[in-house]
Structure 1
Amino acid sequence: MTTCVLAVHAATTGVTAAAVDATGAVRARGHRELAQHRPAPGQVEHAPEEIWQAVLGAVREVLDRVQAGELASVAITNQRDTVLLWDRETLGSPRRAVAGQDRRTGEVCERLRAAGHEARVAELTSRGLSPGAPGPTLAWLAEHEPRTWALVEEGRYAVGTLDSYLVARMTRGLEHVTDVSNASRTLLHDLGSGDWSAELCGVFGVPLDALPEVVPSGGEVARTDPRVFLGLALPVAGLVADRSATHLGLAGLGAGDASWDDTASSLLVTTGRRLVRSAGALTTAVWRSPDGTDTFALEVTTGADRSSESWSGLRDAAPDLVSLRVEHDADERLCQDLGHRLGLDVHRAGSPDAAALRGAALLARTP
């Protein structure tokens, strides 16, 4: 019986795979650690082949516990902002992936800011020029690794986020796709139009045709090739960044529903299909329905500071809150403080299973 979704979560320090059944329960789980490479101060990278081998290893553990015939589809959720290059034919990568924690692009951002680009970038993306975003990272690569970048411009190398890379590997290079929750973090995507922006690509010097197609977050968008994916021929039916997946896994579907992610130190509040802007929060697209409509949210990130003072602007940034949900193992004292600041009861997830896996699996079940 094909009752489970194979959910794959490619995170900062490891890859987790799980067979998630129709109730949201995890039937089997596998995990592989992932090394971070730090070639210079402020630089954080991952080896693409190590990412792929970690995925295969985690999925093998799942297949040790459930039959392949019990798997109905694949869902991918991933760390936001990491960007990769790979050869469209061989799928080999000319360099390591640059992680979202990387800060090498400070000079690039300052130069673009001095040239007057930041206001327009923020208008289209709701984000300022920040190190770690793929747009500035790709501009840095073009400047510092021109031989590699020439092959991007010639069309030999594809550019994408982690979800794009994993789909390419699972399909033997036949598909080059991403979803809106990943695209909207790149500084290359126009929130209003819902697609890549030629204007923004011009700012950062990124060829439009190197980027993946932006497809729905739920519903079949590709099919795995059993010759490269452990004998599995499954529809890829869920693509979503892990912060959005966690939000969805904690039942953040309705307008005003909020979730707190302790790992990301961020509050996400669904605003529905309205693109709402707030001075105290970032506007982001959290997922795209099969009919092509986007669901938006406001996000407030507190960073490492978790003191009471860091919550002071949250209610101003998201005044229409109706519920607040946190993961099963979220810090009790922090949750009490957050609930008090926002004037809401805190609802804790009943299951200790990772909300990101449940959220990705839920999207894969979207008709």
Structure 2
Amino acid sequence: MAECILVLDAGTTSTRAMVFDRQGGLEAVCQAELTQHYPRPGWVEHDAAEIWEKTLGCMREAVGEDADRIAAIGITNQRETVVAWDRNSGEPLARAIVWQDRRTSGFCAKLKDEGHEPSVQQRTGLLLDPYFSGTKMRWMLDNDEAVKAAHDKGTLAFGTVESWLVFKLSGGTHISDASNASRTLLLALDGEQFDEDLCELFGVPRESLPQVVDTHGELAVAAEEWLGQTVPITGLVGDQQSATIGQGCLSFGETKATYGTGAFVLTNKGSDIPRSDHRLLGTVLHQSGGQRTYAIEGACFVAGSLIKYLRDELGLIESAAQTEELARSIEDSGEVVIVPALAGLGAPHWMPEARSVISGLSFASGKAQIARAALEAMAHQTHDLAQAFAADGAPWASLRIDGGMSANDWMAQDLADILGIEVERPEFVETTALGAAVCAAVGAGLYPSLDAAAAQMRGKADTFKPSMDADVREARLARYAKALSAA
């Protein structure tokens, strides 16, 4: 009996294919980097054809000649990134606009000035920010001739990355799961399908959008040509919701933080539609049989991408792992503070035009101080979110962390120290992919529920307990607050 799950993890900087066994063990992995296009300051684009081609290549390499063992496919993805393609040809019409892109800030500001944000937030759980998908779709319609022509012909298809991959794998099925759909500004949190009134507000044609489906179940079928046999697609889930599921945060109040390209914190809110008075987001965590479980979310746009920037653009480090060695080599950052607003500031500030600040530099400041300050910025940003969550009635009793940066022991301990709570990290930190495997395993009938699958597949975890003196903690937070005011 086929019991392995193939996960396609279409991230921001790379795409991967991973094969999990029924117990959550990783059997195979293949990864390929994605080209990042920056045509103007604040613009970030991907080649949708490259996403598909590299995902397909990774999928075939990870599975090899033994496709018979694959019971189902689960897909997780960078969420708010928008792809536009032609339904007839199946080819992309323009470069995908990535979630980090800020080109629609003027449109968002106009809608705010017109007074639309309170009602949009009430209906969608989201704020008017370039981060989300709907304004990107509108920009494509207004500015790209191929997109406009496809709309005029009635062949335009919009979708987030999981929607694009399903369309290509299945040969034409146009769907989006509820977790991704809830990030578009076009889905009311209590609405079954994309909302006509919201589509009209943002100027996005409803007919170009996919059907909204569950996060797990019999969703689509990958065609025989890709792996030599048809394979059901039984799990679709946005990357941050997927990590929450992979972390086993399936009960009310449980919280996870993922430190990847950005930093994303989600707290399970059960069946209650989340409402925030402190500029956090309401989102769909997962959906089964049309029934939704929700989460409240805070998103910081820059986390691991700051370390990548120090390596690739400034040349201060040779590898991400070097930051831990440098941080441990000194007693403190020498009062160097970094506010990592390289793509604006996300929650709870929502300042798309903010720019990064490095403060406290002196002749005593070297790469060790800057590297340590970059890691400290993760705890500072997370502390801002913790305060907003608590003010919204969702305080954290503990925090489960994952993502590539969480492998850094120094950073994990610093989080515990600054937040003043226990931080738990699973031995297998790639919980985004694991969550998609959990969803697909349940969708394929290998487990009866997400709880049962996560309990079996998550594995062991390490715990970091706070140990920093209160006066040291408060001095650091005060320096960060001062630097933040300059951003």
1:1-367 alignment runs, 5 A limit: 1-64=1-64, 67-146=66-145, 148-173=147-172, 175-227=173-225, 229-263=226-260, 264-280=262-278, 281-289=280-288, 291-303=289-301, 304=340, 305-308=377-380, 310=384, 311-319=386-394, 321-327=396-402, 329-339=406-416, 344-352=421-429, 354-366=430-442, 367=445
Would the alpha carbon gap of residues 341 and 78 (structure 1) be closer, same or farther in structure 2, given more than 3 Å must change? same
**Cα distance in 2 between the residues matched to 1:262 and 1:147:** 36
| Identical aligned residues as a percent | 35
Question: CA 1:270–1:120 in 2, change beyond 3 Å: closer, same or farther?
Answer: same
CA RMSD of aligned residues (A): 2.0
- Cα separation, 1, equivalents of 2:18 and 2:136: 31
- Deviation, 1:320, is 5.2
Tell me the distance in 2 between the aligned counterparts of 1:57 and 1:187. 32
Instruction: Give SS of 2:224's match.
Output: coil
Distance 1:276 1:314, change over 3 A: closer
Q: 8 Å contact 2:192–2:290 — kept in the other structure?
A: no
| Structure of higher CA gyration radius | 2
Shift of 1:337: 4.7
Residues 151 and 302 of structure 1: CA distance in aligned 2, closer, same or farther (over 3 Å): closer
Give the superposition deviation at 1:94.
1.5
Judged with a 3 Å threshold, the aligned counterparts in structure 2 of structure 1 residues 183 and 233 are, in CA distance, closer, same or farther, namely: same
Residues 1:359 and 1:147: Cα distance change in structure 2 (over 3 Å): closer
Letter in 1 for 2:271: R
Of residues 115-124 and 12-21 in structure 1, the stretch that sits farther from structure 2 once superposed is: 115-124
Q: Aligned partner of 2:78: which letter? A: Q
Distance 2:388 2:140 in 1: 36
Give the C-alpha shift of residue 335 in structure 1. 3.4
Distance (whole Å) between structure 2 residues aligned to residue 334 and residue 204 of structure 1: 40
Q: Give me the whole-angstrom Cα distance separating, in 1, the residues matched to 2:387 and 2:122.
A: 25
Equivalent-residue separation in structure 1 for 2:4 and 2:237 (angstroms): 18
Deviations 1:16-45 (A, max 9, x none): 101111111111111111101122222111
Residue 316 of structure 1 deviates from its aligned partner by 2.6
TM-score (norm 2): 0.71
2-side partners of 1:171 and 1:255: how far apart? 35
Contact 1:269 1:318 (C-alpha < 8 Å) held by counterparts:
no
**Matches of 1:133 and 1:149 in 2, distance apart?**
21
Q: What residue identity is the alignment partner of 1:92?
A: E
Distance 1:27 1:190, change over 3 A: same
The AA in structure 2 aligned to 1:241 is G
Task: Identify unmatched segments of 5+ residues in structure 1.
Answer: none
SS in 2 for 1:189: coil
Q: SS where residue 255 of structure 1 aligns?
A: coil
Cα shift at 1:137: 1.0
SS of structure 2 residue aligned to 1:195: coil
- Consecutive unaligned residues in structure 2, runs of 5 or more: 302-339, 341-376, 446-487
Q: Provide the secondary structure at the position in 1 that maps to 2:378.
A: coil
Q: What is the CA distance between 1:319 and its match in structure 2?
A: 2.8
Residues 379 and 419, structure 2, Cα contact 8 Å, conserved in 1: no
* Deviation of 1:347 (Å): 2.1
Say if 1:19 and 1:307 are closer, same or farther in 2 by CA, change over 3 A.
closer
Structure (1 or 2) with the greater strand fraction: 1
What is the DSSP-based 3-state SS (H/G/I as helix, E as strand, rest coil) of the residue aligned with 1:202? helix
Moved over 3 A (4+): 302-305, 311-314, 320-323, 328-344
Q: Give the Å deviation of 1:318.
A: 4.9
* Structure 1: distance between partners of 2:61 and 2:216: 25
Alpha-carbon separation, structure 2, partners of 1:108 and 1:76: 31
Does the 8 A contact of 2:379 with 2:414 survive in 1? no
2:102 and 2:130 in contact (8 A); partners too: yes
SS across alignment from 1:190 = coil
Report the CA distance between 1:205 and its aligned residue: 1.1
Greater shift in the superposed pair: 131-140 or 50-59: 131-140
Structure 2: distance between partners of 1:157 and 1:7:
28
Secondary structure of the residue aligned to 2:42 is coil
Quote the offset at 1:116 in angstroms: 2.4
Say which SS state the counterpart of residue 152 (structure 1) adopts: helix
Quick one: structure 1 residues 8 and 355, their matched pair in 2 at CA, closer, same or farther if it must change by over 3 Å? same
- How many pairs were matched up? 362
